[in-house]
Amino acid sequence: MAPIARAADPRSIDVELYGVVRLRAGVDRVALPAGTLAEVLGALARRCPALAPELIRDGHASAHLLVALDGREVIDDPARPIAPGSCLVLTSAQAGG
Amino acid sequence: MSVGGYYGRLLHIWLSGQTATATLLPLERELLADFVGGVGLGAYLLWRFCPPGVDPLAPEAPLCVVLSPLLGTPLTTTAKFSVVCKSPLTGRINDGLSSSRFALAARRLGVDAVVIQGALARLSILHLDDVIARCRVEDGRALAGKTPAEVTAALAGAERRSVAAIGIAGERGVRYATISNDGRHAGRGGAGAVMGSKRLKAITVRGGQSPGIADRARVTQRARSLAAASVGASTEKYRVLGTAANLETFDRLRILPVRNFQDVSIGRAKARRLAPEGLAQAGAHVRESCAGCTIGCDHRYGGARIEYETQFALGPLIGVDDPKTLIAAARACDDLGLDTISAGGSLAFAMECAARGLVDWPLAFGDDPGPWLSRIARREGAGDLLAEGTRLAARAIGQGSDRFACHVKGLELPGYEPRAMQTMALGLAVAARGADHNRSGAYQADLKAGVDRYRADVERAPLRVIDTEDHAALYDSLILCKFLRGAIAEPWGEGAELLEMVTGIARDGGTLRAAIRRIIATRHLFNLREGWTLAEDTLPPRFTEEPLGDGARLSRRDLDAMVAGYHAARGHDARGHMPELLQRELGLMRWLER
């Protein structure tokens, strides 16, 4: 697999933002503490309030948000642990072109 | 409830010499209910009017302009029409959708479809009015070589006629030439070449008819709620950035086709340059929308409409990473009347042939495609061969080049890497009109939680592909823009309700789904009649014999197993043929036996 960008702090995770998610958030990358997906998304929504509630609500990704673990596996289980050093790719769920 | 939505007739036009002979033919209401409209009704009309085995560029081959029951209502995104023909690129069914004012004007002609057969003696304009006696042919030789935009400017005139035209590529019979209207295109499969073979540079329409709306109050109410839903979060990407936002994301997800599907990423910095933010620095950004659309996904940079498929095909697929070069190439395709996906795909194939020393053409990945697009459209030099498309070019070049000729049934692949999206791999392999992202949105399944997109799921992938094919056929028959899909929770029930309030024909979601299955079966039966065999439902060796750099691979055995599972789930036999019992169950015998 391609090398995955790592957060500077090995205990945290990288969140990469693309498309309208990036536009809303105003940043293209955020480092957050590792935890469950719900905990990570909750922390992201607090850091980037413009993502709530349309894209993130109560730590849950809405139907309009795609979350890919390490850019490879699309995940939506709020209880899914996100290990330190992982990367979450966030983008719009609509892929058509 | 009163009756609306359909006129119950089609306009048949036979071209000969310099004359158009027009005839009105009835379309039974039951038939219209069974095939809905758009690509659905178009599939039936192609079956009915296309002589079996005909050369797609022969005079007898029909060009069908097909409207839909929702067209002309206040419902958002319904200003669309379909163009259906036998593809000169694939020899199979071809249907394209286009949008905007031409659709609305055609709706006022007083017919549900226009079927054109025959050919004129010289390049001409066909003018259609709602009074058939005024259907007339005008000499169009002065417009030879003009761009569709120039033709439109010349013909719209004081009468404010709506115009659909071909560029020089259509005149020269390029097998992936487009038909253009209002800056939009019936793009794939070479409908522009079919129109050019009839010596039609343009069709203009003007009328004042209306089929009526069965329950106008309900339609008005629903139009308001649908418009409100259409500007929510589900369409934000399309409104704010357009589909061009895909490229950078797809690069990161490693599903972006690069250099003729030899790689899946161009790197973060280059992808960022080609993203909407980078395009806006290269050319002034203007957002537009189709007539009657509340979404407005049409993002133009430097005057060129840049959608993801154009962006990938004239960018990473051919090694171009300069946004200004990409914008210029997109504009050239618009002016010449070329399908951007097939143009980029054919060039990418040629570039790889040159890199491998199979041809001595002076082109390489990363070159400005502009001069080559011109050669293709004019069929000059090596452009003449590339105008035939990747499949025929590979046959002519030989030397094993078919192994990396990236097409299905002759249609070049859209911008999704099949080895890293294996549900999409199946969707591309089995699609009726060839490698296709519009009649099968199987990429949606690959980007859902719980789906391992790197694995061929022989049991579930066929069902996922069928589901996306059915949904696409629903939207393309109604016709509603598929970008609305996130705003419609239950499309079968909702679609049935929309049809009922517009046409007065009562049905439920199950009945509508049966109609869509009938439509998809008709497309398959047409292909069978034209010589389809199971061997066509596949992907070229590039995808089954060459793993990606990150190790992702798609085995031939798994692909074949998924294809077999697809046909079994569709109710076909082991050869992919449709048993007569199934045809009867779908209610096809009464319409297709005629």
What does the alpha-carbon distance between residue B167 and residue B338 come to, in Å, rounded to a whole number? 8
Residue of B nearest to A54 (CA): B233
**Are the Cβ atoms of B249 and A91 closer than 8 angstroms?**
yes
Residues B245, A68: C-beta atoms closer than 8 Å = no
pLDDT value at B1 more than 50: no
Q: Which residues contact B489 (CB under 8 A, 6 or more apart)?
A: none
Q: State both tokens at B360.
A: 């001595």
DSSP readout, B349-413? HHHHHHHTTS---S--TTS--HHHHHHHHHT-TTHHHHTT-HHHHHHHH-TTGGGG--EETTEEP
Pairwise CB contact (< 8 Å): A96 & B441:
yes
B455: chain A residues, CB-CB within 8 Å: none
Write out pLDDT tens, residues B461-483: 999 999 999 999 999 999 999 99
What is the per-residue pLDDT across B169-194, written as a single tens digit (0 to 9) for each? 999 999 999 999 999 999 899 999 99
Task: Tokens for B370, please give them.
Answer: 């502009």
pLDDT tens for each residue of B93-150 = 999 999 999 999 999 999 999 999 999 999 999 999 997 657 899 999 999 999 999 9
Whole-number pLDDT of residue B594? 57
Give the pLDDT confidence of B535-553 residue by residue, as tens digits: 999 999 999 999 999 899 9
Q: What's the pTM value of the predicted model, to 2 decimals?
A: 0.97
The DSSP annotation for B100-159 comes to: SHHHHHHHTTS-SEEEEEE--SS-EEEEEESSGGG-EEEE-GGGTT--HHHHHHHHHTTT
Residue of A nearest to B253 (CA): A71
Q: Is the pLDDT of residue B2 over 60?
A: no
> Nearest-CA distance from B246 to chain A in Å?
7
Each residue of A25-70: pLDDT tens digit?
A: 999 999 999 999 999 999 999 999 999 999 999 889 999 999 999 9
Q: How close does chain B come to A8, measured CA to CA in Å?
A: 19
**Which residue in chain A has the smallest CA separation from B455?**
A73
**Residues in B lying within 8 Å of A, measured between beta carbons:** 232-238, 240-241, 243, 245-246, 248-249, 252-254, 265, 307-309, 414-415, 437, 441, 443-444, 447-454, 482-483, 486, 550-551
Alpha-carbon span B193 to B94, nearest angstrom:
12
Element spanning A74, H or E: strand A73-74
**Please, which pLDDT band fits residue A4 given cuts at 50, 70 and 90?**
very low
* Per-residue pLDDT, A3: 39
Contacts of B243 in chain A (CB under 8 A): 96-97
Helices and strands: H and E segment counts in chain A = 2, 9
The HSE-up count of residue B391 (CA atoms within 13 Å, CB side) is 19
| pLDDT score recorded for residue B550 | 86
What pLDDT digit, counting tens, does each position of B369-422 carry? 999 999 999 999 999 999 999 999 999 999 999 999 999 999 999 999 999 999
**C-beta atoms of B309 and A89 within 8 A:** no
Q: What phi and psi, each to the nearest 5 degrees, are found at residue B339?
A: -70, 125
Q: Are B32 and B6 spatial neighbours (Cβ–Cβ below 8 Å)? A: yes
The pLDDT, as a whole number, for residue B146 is 98
